[in-house]
Structures are given as structure tokens and as C-alpha cells.
Amino acid sequence: MDPVKMPVEPPKKRRIGVLTSGGDAPGMNGAVRAVVRMAIHSDCEAYAIFEGYEGLVNGGNMIRQVHWEDVRGWLSRGGTLIGSARSMAFRERAGRLRAAKNMVLRGIDALVVCGGDGSLTGADVFRAEWPSLLSDLIAAGELTAEQVEPYKALNIVGLVGSIDNDMSGTDATIGCYSSLARICDAVDDVFDTAFSHQRGFVVEVMGRHCGWLALMSAISTGADWLFIPEMPPRDGWEDDMCSIITKNRKERGKRRTIVIVAEGAQDRQLNKISSSTIKDILTQRLGLDTRTTVLGHTQRGGAACAYDRWLSTLQGVEAVRAVLEMGTQSPSPVITIRENKIMRTPLMEAVQATKDVTAKIHEKNFEAAMTERDAEFKEYYHAYLNTATPEHPKMILPEGKRMRIAIIHVGAPAGGMNQATRAAVAYCLTRGHTPLAIHNGFPGLCRHHADKPISSVREVQWLESDSWVNEGGSDIGTNRSLPSEDMETTAKCFDLYKFDALFVVGGFEAFTAVSQLRQAREKYDAFKIPLVVLPATISNNVPGTEYSLGSDTCLNTLIDFCDAIRQSASSSRRRVFVIETQGGKSGYIATTAGLAVGAVAVYIPEEGIDIKMLSRDIDFLRDNFIRDKGANRAGKIILRNETASHTYTTQVIADMIKEEAKGRFESRAAVPGHFQQGGKPSPMDRVRALRMSIRCMQHIESYGGKSRDEIAADPTSASVIGVKGSQVLFSPMGGDSGLEATETDWKRRCPKSEFWLELQDVVNMLSGRSAAHAHE
Ligand code: ATP
């Protein structure tokens, strides 16, 4: 072979390549956009490698430099715009030799690979072989030692892009929640038909080796029965399934039957269980009019949901950071997420752990497969079992441990409130507790003592709560009023209804209410019971958590609104939309929505708005429109939280922009208002509601049999459940180190330190606003 004659210029800037590989997944474009912009922001050059490893092997035009403007609008696009492929050539060393040569010739020595476990295995093989690939290329005369010298080390960082969520070591993969959303939309739709005709539906979802999509969709839609590859049903499952479904229909009065089956479902002997087999069993044994729906590729497509946009963006940024921080000998990391924390995990460990799960399934060691898949996965599975088939005789607690657990909603409605209540009710019934719903908050509770003795406290039956599985808002009714309005009556009602515990679902008012009850324990023994808050508010401003139910539903509604409005200005119109978000005094929703839609700027109350800021932003917009050419042109979005400024209202800002644009572009104000709270809760809010709610019930249950004074002496008996970094914790409200004293900004009604504030920098960096402001 002839040595390459062309001399290679040592690159002035570091060149980082990015590729997407394996099956496409929503959010891959967001990851590519973030990698490209973060690379450019970090003074590197970004290269897109088209068609996955195939592009790396073939080189030429399949490896192209990408500029800032090239990735405009990519966040809202489905699939992968740089293409994906399954490359046979890259599986062979000869292919990888060609890939290495192409990289050296193009001066690329860092690669961000977004794909599934196969793609990441390929990446690690490539990295491990890199030195030997280079020496082979020199030995074969393909490259000279001089050419190779600057590229001796190859840095590879993995991003997990896959709808299956099958990678160990991460709670979510880029794409899985979008796919789950598509499945839930479809099942919610068949739900209505199933109910109308009292039919059964067997819905087959993707997942050859991993049951995550099946499990989460079963939780989100209240499926009667579930089949996943990791945990095959016990032998004789046909009888078990028919018995549960008969019980649900005949004894409990359920009109619709939903069975979710992962495509890789199997029995304990590893024989496939197909959707048609299940349908036949239900039809023949129960005489149930049953239909099968195989969702197929609709589960893959479409725009990414809010979470995937957020995740892919933050992980893409983190991947570039990892590249820049890696030494020459550093093992490749994969970027993961644990609860709310973006982390780095050794790539091969994650890939190996994933392979181990598959091996455990083949060995029929299903318990180990469940444990090794992910601790969270197992927890969700048991939570599903507890709520789907309540009243297991074995699960019922002894009499002295059973409790009367009151459930109340406080504050504004938020997606997930109903699902949290449903899960609590189902858990209570499974364990022998009495679930008591308090209608319409604290005023509802106290109504008993008003002139009309109508009780707003009611025992909830399973069938009623089961119907809340996909409903938005609050079915038992929520109210902002606090117990301090009538503490005396509140205490009397606690005694009257013999509450042994109170489960409060809501926002900052819920937090305040429990704080008041806790403080009133000195005077009223009635409050010396476990008091637990499950945060649910679109503002996400409850101390003790980084995530509140309802915030994800709100974000999804907002991004749909922004995408639609932005599209209205595509092609010819140069238009800026100033969109007002809810969130009260917290800029959380505005900031995270800004991250998910790629907003030009986000105005939040924590920062305020001033004239200099507006003036700089108008200059930035002007400059932006000058550079904005070609197919990606669409409207631009500015998000303004409703309380960001008294003076600079949404309309005023839109008018100022219009005036200053001097005809070069125009602007419009838009206020989605209460639209943001609404609709069916997102799957993430549904599944987290279930998980958190069951944790709360277990926490409450741990006080069973304890005396009131013992309970009151335990700081965690009045607490908030929340996500903090990579953990889910109960944080005590009271005491010197409790949330009330240390973490609460009572005046602004939010936590003292807000974890998401640093996301503002990412929004500004990715829009180019921070660079524009820095140049002023
Ligand atoms: P999905 O989760 O959608 O299946 P994946 O990344 O696991 O995605 P694969 O088809 O397994 O998809 O892998 C994608 C590509 O990665 C392969 O076509 C191949 O080019 C490369 N690849 C996979 N495994 C290896 C390996 N062991 N060595 C080299 N390359 C590999």
C-alpha cells in the first residue's frame, strides 16, 4: 500500500467527533447539538460522523465539520439527523483500521458515541486497540510515525441512546421516556375502547431483553397483568392471570382489561410468550372479547419528550467536559444519570453489567437478573405488583400494625396527584390499612363541624382509585388553605376520624401545612402521628426535593406549546416569541423549559430583568437573525417567568423587541397560562408518583405500633420525601438541622439553594447568549 502523500496539518484546535449508532432514539439530536455547541464553546472544533461507525470506516464526506448554526432547531427533531447504521465493517479489525486512519487524517482524537450497549462495546474495543491500530497503520505504510504522533491517545466517551433503557448503571437512557410517552398515549386510547366495550387488550411493546418499557407502561396505565423477560411468571401463570382478571372484572367491577407484554416475554423455561397466545387464553378460557395491539415502530419515532431533551443536552455537555478532562490513559466513561444527578461511570463496567443481566436470564437466574438490572427497576416491579393486584392474604399486617391513613391534597392541582393517591390506596388495601381520602383539603376536613354535618373524609375503594391511573388534576379535590386557619377543629377532626398518619400531596402549601401541624404537636396530641409530604407542584419549589410531581407534565405541555408556536414562524418569518411561564417565584419551569426548547434567553425572578440585559439581548437577537440562514430557520423563543419583573411584563418585552428590531424581525407575546398544568400526567409523573407514594406508605408503616410520644420524638416522623442528587430520601422538617430551619426561604416560598440555577448557564451557553454577553 502507498503511504499517504498528503501532509497532515497539526490542528490548531482540538477536534471532537460525534456519532450516533445502533437503533435511533428520540433525543439523539439533542445530544449531538449539545456536543457540537459545547465543543465549539470550549474552543474545539466539532465533527459529525454520519451513519454511525459506517461513516468512520468510509471517511470522506461522511465526516464533516459542524458549525454552531448547523444544529439549530435539532432539539425538537425526532430520530437522528446525522444518521445511524449497524456497521458490519466496524466489527472487523480491518474496518477499525480504516476508521483509525480516517480519524488521524482528519485530526480527530476524541469521539463521543451515542448508542446502545453494542455501540458502546464497539467504542471501547476501538479505544483499547487504538495504539495497535496506529502501529499497524505505520507498519503497513498507510500513515507515517510523524502523522500519528499527535494522536497517540484516543478519548472516547459514551452516551446511552436507546429506547429500551437496558443499560445497567443508569436510571434512564436517552430516548426511553419519549418511547414510554408514545406507548402510554396509545394505551390510554385503547383504554377508552376497552372500557366502552368491556374488552380486553393485549398490548405488545418493544423490549427484546429488557422489560423497562413494559413495566413502566403497565404502571402508567394500570395494566392488569404484565410480562417481562427478566421475571417470567411462575408455571401455571395462565391460571393465575385468568384468576386475577376474573377477580378484577367480576368482584371489583373493572370494565376494561389491559395486559402489557414485552416482545421478549418468556416463561420460566425460556419459551416465548406471545401476545397472540395470551389473547387466545383470555378469549377461550374467560370468553373475554380480547384484541391484540402490537405497537411496533411508532414507539421509536417522534420528537423527544421534555426529559429526553433535558437529559440529552446535559449529558452531551458533560460528555465534552469528560473529553477535555481525560488523560491519555483514562478509561472510557459513559455518562449516566442516577435520580437527578448526571454522573460518569466506567464504560466497560456498565456494558459488562448489562451483559451479565442477559446472561442471568439465559441461566434462568431471574432474581439475580432483576437485582442486577437496576435497584430502581426491582423497586418499580414490586411497586407494580403491590398496586395491580391488591389484597394478597400474605401481605396483610397483624391487627396491631394496621393504620388509618389519611390522604389529603394541598395547594394547586398538579399531574401525578391522583396517581400518588391511587398507589397509596392500593398499598393500604394490600397491607390491611384503611385509606381515608380527605376531600378538598383542610377546609374539607373541618367542614364536619359546620352547620351541615357532611363528612368529607371517606374510605376509598380500590375500583374508584384505580380509575385515577391516567387522570390529571386532583380527583379528591385540593385546596390552598392551611390548618392554622382553624387548628383547634383540625385537631378535633384528626381525633374524630382516628387518623394514625397523614399523607400530604402538594406544593409549598403542603410543606407549610405539615410544618404547622408539627409545631402544633406540643399543644395537640392528635398531630403526634407520622406526617409525610410528597411534593407535587409544577413550580418544583418544595424544600427537600429536586423533583416535584407535576413538573414533568408541565414541562411537556410547555414544550409542545413552544414547538408549535415556533413552527408557525418557520421558513419566511423572522419572529421572536416571548412566552410567559407559570412557576410563581421560582424560575425552575422557565429554565428547564428553556433548556428543552433551546430558548434564546430565559428571564427568571431569581435574576430579575433590567434594561441593560434587554438591550444586550436585543443586540444578540439581531446578530442571531443575521446568521440565521437556510432550512433550520424558525421562530425564536424567549421564556419569561410570570413574576420575573413587575415592569418588564411579557407584552412590554415583546413590544420593546419589536420597536428595536426596526423591521428586521418582529415579536409576539404568548401566555399559555393554566394550559401548563394540564392534560394527562406524563408517564414520568405517573411512575414516580407510584414509587414515591409507596415509599411514603412504607415509611408511615414503620411507625405502626409506636406510641404517640415515641413518634413525636423522631424527627423523621414529620418529613418530606424527595430526590436529592442521586438519592431518594426522607428529610425531617423540624429540629436544628431540619428543612424548616436550614433549607427553607419562607419569604420567597422556595428552598434556600436551588439546584437548577446552574442550568441557566447551560441555557445561555447553548444559545450563544453567554458568549454574546461576554463580548460586550
Ligand atoms: P440498540 O440498543 O438499538 O440495539 P446497539 O448500539 O446495541 O443499539 P448494535 O447493533 O448492537 O446496536 O451495535 C451497533 C453497532 O456498533 C454495530 O453495528 C457495530 O458497528 C458496532 N459494534 C457493536 N458491537 C461491536 C463490537 N464488539 N466490536 C466492534 N463494533 C461493535
Q: What are 675-729's pLDDT values in tens digits?
A: 887 789 999 999 999 999 999 999 999 999 899 999 999 999 999 999 998 899 9
Mean pLDDT of 66-87: 92
According to the 3-state scheme, what is the secondary structure of 332-387? CEEEEEECCEEEEEEHHHHHHHHHHHHHHHHCCCHHHHHHHHCHHHHHHHHHHHHH
pLDDT of residue 455: 73
CA 282 to chain centre: 34
**For residue 277, is pLDDT > 80?**
yes
Q: Tell how far the Cα of 98 is from the centroid of ligand 1, in angstroms.
A: 17
The single-letter DSSP state of residue 249 is I
**For residue 630, is pLDDT > 70?**
no
- At 267, the pLDDT band (50, 70, 90 cuts) reads very high
Q: Is the CB of 159 under 6 A from ligand 1?
A: no
* Residue type (1 letter), 130: W
Q: Is the CB of 95 under 6 A from ligand 1?
A: no
Higher pLDDT, 753 or 527: 527
- At 1, the pLDDT band (50, 70, 90 cuts) reads very low
Which residues lie across from 409 on neighbouring strands? 478, 505
Pairing mode, strands 636-641 and 575-581 = parallel
Q: Is the CB of 719 under 6 A from ligand 1?
A: no
Supply the residue whose CA is at minimum distance from atom 3 of ligand 1. Answer: 23
Nearby residues of 215 by Cβ (< 8 Å), 6 or more positions away: 226, 228, 377, 380, 381, 384
* Residue type (1 letter), 325: E
Q: Compute the distance between CA of residue 735 and CA of residue 714 in angstroms, rounded to an integer.
A: 10
Supply the residue whose CA is at minimum distance from atom 27 of ligand 1. Answer: 122
pLDDT of residue 9: 58
ipTM over 0.90: yes
Q: Is the CB of 89 under 6 A from ligand 1?
A: no
Q: Tell how far the Cα of 181 is from the centroid of ligand 1, in angstroms.
A: 26
Other CB atoms closer than 10 Å to residue 328's CB: what's the count?
9
**For residue 443, is pLDDT > 70?**
yes
Q: Tell how far the Cα of 261 is from the centroid of ligand 1, in angstroms.
A: 25
Please state the atom number of ligand 1 nearest to the C-alpha of residue 25: 3
Nearby residues of 407 by Cβ (< 8 Å), 6 or more positions away: 421, 424, 425, 435, 436, 437, 438, 460, 476, 503, 505
Supply the residue whose CA is at minimum distance from atom 11 of ligand 1. Answer: 118
Q: Which cell is 125 given?
A: 474495543
Pairing mode, strands 744-745 and 750-751 = antiparallel
Nearby residues of 168 by Cβ (< 8 Å), 6 or more positions away: 350, 353, 354, 356, 357, 372, 373, 374
pLDDT of residue 2: 47
Q: What are 161-187's pLDDT values in tens digits?
A: 999 999 988 999 999 999 999 999 999
- At 299, the pLDDT band (50, 70, 90 cuts) reads confident
Phi, psi of 382 (to 5 degrees): -70, -35
Q: Compute the distance between CA of residue 85 and CA of residue 463 in angstroms, rounded to an integer.
A: 47
Q: Tell how far the Cα of 354 is from the centroid of ligand 1, in angstroms.
A: 14
- At 463, the pLDDT band (50, 70, 90 cuts) reads confident
Other CB atoms closer than 10 Å to residue 630's CB: what's the count?
8
Q: What are 472-501's pLDDT values in tens digits?
A: 989 999 999 999 999 999 999 999 999 999
Q: Is the CB of 681 under 6 A from ligand 1?
A: no
pLDDT of residue 6: 56
Q: Which residues are catalytic?
A: 164
Supply the residue whose CA is at minimum distance from atom 22 of ligand 1. Answer: 122
- At 64, the pLDDT band (50, 70, 90 cuts) reads very high
Mean pLDDT of 126-138: 95
Other CB atoms closer than 10 Å to residue 323's CB: what's the count?
24
CB 113 within 8 Å of CB 156 = yes
Please state the atom number of ligand 1 nearest to the C-alpha of residue 23: 3
Ligand 1: which of 86, 88, 98, 354 to mutate, most ligand atoms within 8 Å of CB? 86
Please state the atom number of ligand 1 nearest to the C-alpha of residue 120: 6
- At 205, the pLDDT band (50, 70, 90 cuts) reads very high
pLDDT of residue 391: 61
pLDDT of residue 447: 80
* Residue type (1 letter), 469: V
Mean pLDDT of 386-400: 78
pLDDT of residue 44: 96
CB 111 within 8 Å of CB 154 = yes
Residue percentage of the chain with pLDDT more than 90: 75
CA dihedral 34, 40, 43, 45 (to 10 degrees): 110
What is the chain's mean pLDDT, rounded?
91
Residue percentage of the chain with pLDDT more than 70: 95
Global confidence as pTM: 0.93
Supply the residue whose CA is at minimum distance from atom 23 of ligand 1. Answer: 118
Q: Is the CB of 449 under 6 A from ligand 1?
A: no
Mean pLDDT of 437-447: 92
- At 633, the pLDDT band (50, 70, 90 cuts) reads low
Q: Compute the distance between CA of residue 20 and CA of residue 82 in angstroms, rounded to an integer.
A: 7
Q: Compute the distance between CA of residue 132 and CA of residue 137 in angstroms, rounded to an integer.
A: 8
Q: Tell how far the Cα of 117 is from the centroid of ligand 1, in angstroms.
A: 7
